[in-house]
Amino acid sequence: MLRSSYGRGAHGAYGARAQIASQLRVSLRRATISSRDKNMASLLEHTPHVPASYWAPAVSRDTIFAGSGGSSAALSPGEAMAGLMVKGKGSGTSEPAPKAPGSPAKGPADKPSGGKVDPDTKTPKNDEPAVPEDKESEASVGESSGSGETAAAAGTNGSAALGGNGNSGNNNGNNNGGNGGNDDEIDAKAAEVVSETGTYPPFLAIAMKDRPQLPGREFSINISDPKVKKTILEICSRREPHFVLFHMNDPDMPDTDIIHERSSVYDIGAHCFVLRTYEDGKNLRILGRVMERCRLDKLVTPEEQVESKKAGTLEDFPTSYLRDFGVSYASVTRCEDEPYDIDSPELKFLLAQVKAYFEVIDTKIPSKKIITTRGASLLNSPSQLADFIGSLSAAPADKIQELLSELNVEARLRKALELFKVELKSYYTLIDTTLEITSKAEEAQHKQFIKEYIKGLQRHIGGGPESANSKTSKFDERIKNMKLTDEAMEAYNTEKAKLESGQEHSSELAVSEKYLDWLTSIPWGIYSKDRFNVKLAKQVLDREHYGLKDVKDRILEFISMGKISGKVDGKILCLVGPPGTGKTSIAKSIAESLNRRYVRIAMGGIQDVHEVKGHRRTYVGSIPGRIISSLKQAKTSNPLLLIDEIDKLDMSKSGGAASAFLEILDPEQNNAFVDNYIDVKVDLSKVLFVCTANYLGNIPGPLRDRMEVIEVSGYTNNEKFEIVTKHLIPNAAKRANLDETKVSITSESVRKLIEKYCRESGLRNLKKLITRIFSKASLKIVQQLEERTPEESTESTKEEKPSTINESVDSKIVQEFKTVDTSITKGEEDVVLPHEIPEDIKLDVTPAVLKDYVGPEIYTKSRVYDIPPPGVATGLAYSTSGNGDALYIESILTNSIGAGTGSPGVRVTGHLKDVMKESASIAYSFSKSFMVKNYPENRFFEGADIHVHCPEGAVPKDGPSAGIAFTSSLISLALNQSLPPTIAMTGEITLTGKVSAVGGLREKILGAKRYGYDTIIFPKDIENDLEEMSEEVKEGMKFIPVSWYSEVFEVIFPNADKDKINRLWKKEFAKLDEKKKPKKA
d(CA 888, CA 949): 8
Which has the minimum average pLDDT: 209-223, 458-472, 557-571? 458-472
What does the pLDDT average to over 180-206? Answer: 53
- Catalytic residue list: 961, 1004
Residue 30 to residues 22, 44, 116, 446, 604: CA-CA distances in angstroms? Answer: 13, 14, 14, 52, 97
Question: Band of the pLDDT at 172, cuts 50, 70, 90?
Answer: very low
d(CA 247, CA 328): 14
898-910 pLDDT per residue, tens: 666 668 889 999 9
Residue 1045 confidence (pLDDT) above 90 = yes
Question: Band of the pLDDT at 25, cuts 50, 70, 90?
Answer: very low
- The answer to whether residues 1026 and 1049 touch, using CB atoms and an 8 Å cutoff, is no
Which has the minimum average pLDDT: 129-138, 260-269, 589-598, 792-801? 129-138
What does the pLDDT average to over 328-332? Answer: 92
- The pLDDT value given to residue 997: 92
* DSSP strands (E only) in 533-576: 572-576
d(CA 152, CA 169): 14
438: nearest Cα among 362, 376, 357, 348: 357
Of the chain, the percentage scoring pLDDT greater than 90 comes to 23
Q: How many C-beta atoms lie closer than 10 Å to residue 282's C-beta?
A: 9
Which has the minimum average pLDDT: 151-165, 247-261, 290-304, 978-992? 151-165
* DSSP strands (E only) in 8-118: none
- The answer to whether residues 584 and 692 touch, using CB atoms and an 8 Å cutoff, is yes
Provide DSSP, 513-526.
Answer: HHHHHHHTTS-TT-
Most confident of 510-514, 915-919, 1002-1006: 915-919
- The pLDDT value given to residue 568: 75
d(CA 768, CA 774): 10
**547 φ/ψ angles, rounded to the nearest 5 degrees:** 75, -145
pLDDT higher at 812 or 783: 783
Question: Band of the pLDDT at 1011, cuts 50, 70, 90?
Answer: confident
pLDDT higher at 367 or 23: 367
Question: Band of the pLDDT at 53, cuts 50, 70, 90?
Answer: very low
- The pLDDT value given to residue 504: 54
d(CA 304, CA 326): 10
- The pLDDT value given to residue 797: 42
537, β-bridge pairs:
none
- The answer to whether residues 919 and 889 touch, using CB atoms and an 8 Å cutoff, is no
**835 φ/ψ angles, rounded to the nearest 5 degrees:** -85, 135
Dihedral, 907, 908, 914, 919 alpha carbons, nearest 10: -90
d(CA 241, CA 235): 5
Helix (H, G, I), strand (E, B) or coil at 29: helix
List alpha helices for 107-225, DSSP H.
134-137, 183-192
Q: Phi/psi class of residue 1028: alpha, beta or left (left: φ > 0; alpha: ψ in -120 to 50)? A: alpha
Of the chain, the percentage scoring pLDDT greater than 70 comes to 71
d(CA 988, CA 996): 5
d(CA 552, CA 586): 9
Sign, CA torsion 561/563/564/569: positive
Residue 716 to residues 576, 773, 847, 884, 1004: CA-CA distances in angstroms? Answer: 17, 22, 21, 11, 12
What does the pLDDT average to over 956-972? Answer: 92
d(CA 657, CA 827): 47
- The pLDDT value given to residue 1039: 94
d(CA 511, CA 622): 10
Helix (H, G, I), strand (E, B) or coil at 276: strand
What does the pLDDT average to over 763-767? Answer: 89
Which has the minimum average pLDDT: 250-254, 289-293, 832-836? 832-836
- The pLDDT value given to residue 900: 66
d(CA 762, CA 430): 59
Counting every residue written for the chain, the total comes to 1081
- The pLDDT value given to residue 159: 30
What does the pLDDT average to over 372-392? Answer: 84
Which has the minimum average pLDDT: 315-319, 398-402, 917-921? 315-319
- Which residues are CB-contacts of 170 (< 8 A; sequence separation ≥ 6)? 32, 91, 92
Q: What is the 3-state secondary structure (H, E, C) of 592-635?
A: HHHCCCEEEEECCCCCCCHHHHCCCCCCCCCCCCHHHHHHHHHC
What does the pLDDT average to over 580-599? Answer: 89
Residue 421 confidence (pLDDT) above 90 = no
- The answer to whether residues 925 and 975 touch, using CB atoms and an 8 Å cutoff, is no
- The pLDDT value given to residue 257: 87
- The pLDDT value given to residue 295: 93
d(CA 622, CA 624): 7
pLDDT higher at 882 or 542: 542
Residue 11 confidence (pLDDT) above 50 = no
List alpha helices for 803-900, DSSP H.
809-818, 850-854
pLDDT higher at 723 or 438: 723
pLDDT higher at 500 or 540: 540
- The pLDDT value given to residue 243: 93
pLDDT higher at 175 or 310: 310
Q: Report the amino acid identity of residue 370.
A: I
661-707 pLDDT per residue, tens: 888 888 888 888 999 999 999 999 889 899 998 888 888 888 888 88
670: nearest Cα among 687, 655, 658: 687
Residue 580 confidence (pLDDT) above 90 = no
988: nearest Cα among 949, 959, 1008: 959
- The pLDDT value given to residue 197: 43
d(CA 396, CA 824): 48
Query: What does pLDDT average to over the chain?
Result: 74
Secondary structure tally for the chain: helices H, strands E: 40, 24
Residue 88 confidence (pLDDT) above 90 = no
Which has the minimum average pLDDT: 20-34, 326-340, 743-757? 20-34
pLDDT higher at 63 or 487: 487
Residue 418 confidence (pLDDT) above 70 = yes
Helix (H) or strand (E) holding 872, with range, is: strand 872-878
d(CA 873, CA 985): 8
- The pLDDT value given to residue 199: 66
- The pLDDT value given to residue 651: 65
d(CA 978, CA 70): 112
- Burial of 599 from C-beta contacts in 10 A (0-12 / 13-18 / 19+): buried
Residue 107 confidence (pLDDT) above 90 = no
Question: Band of the pLDDT at 171, cuts 50, 70, 90?
Answer: very low
Helix (H, G, I), strand (E, B) or coil at 411: helix
Question: Band of the pLDDT at 633, cuts 50, 70, 90?
Answer: very high
- The pLDDT value given to residue 599: 93
d(CA 526, CA 637): 6
Q: What is the 3-state secondary structure (H, E, C) of 413-478?
A: HHHHHHHHHHHHHCCHHHHHHHHHHHHHHHHHHHHHHHHHHCCCHHHHCCCHHHHHHHHHHHHHHH
Q: Report the amino acid identity of residue 580.
A: G
- The pLDDT value given to residue 629: 92
Helix (H) or strand (E) holding 223, with range, is: strand 218-223
List alpha helices for 797-867, DSSP H.
809-818, 850-854
810-834 pLDDT per residue, tens: 443 334 334 444 444 444 444 455 6
Q: How many C-beta atoms lie closer than 10 Å to residue 590's C-beta?
A: 24
36: nearest Cα among 160, 150, 127: 127
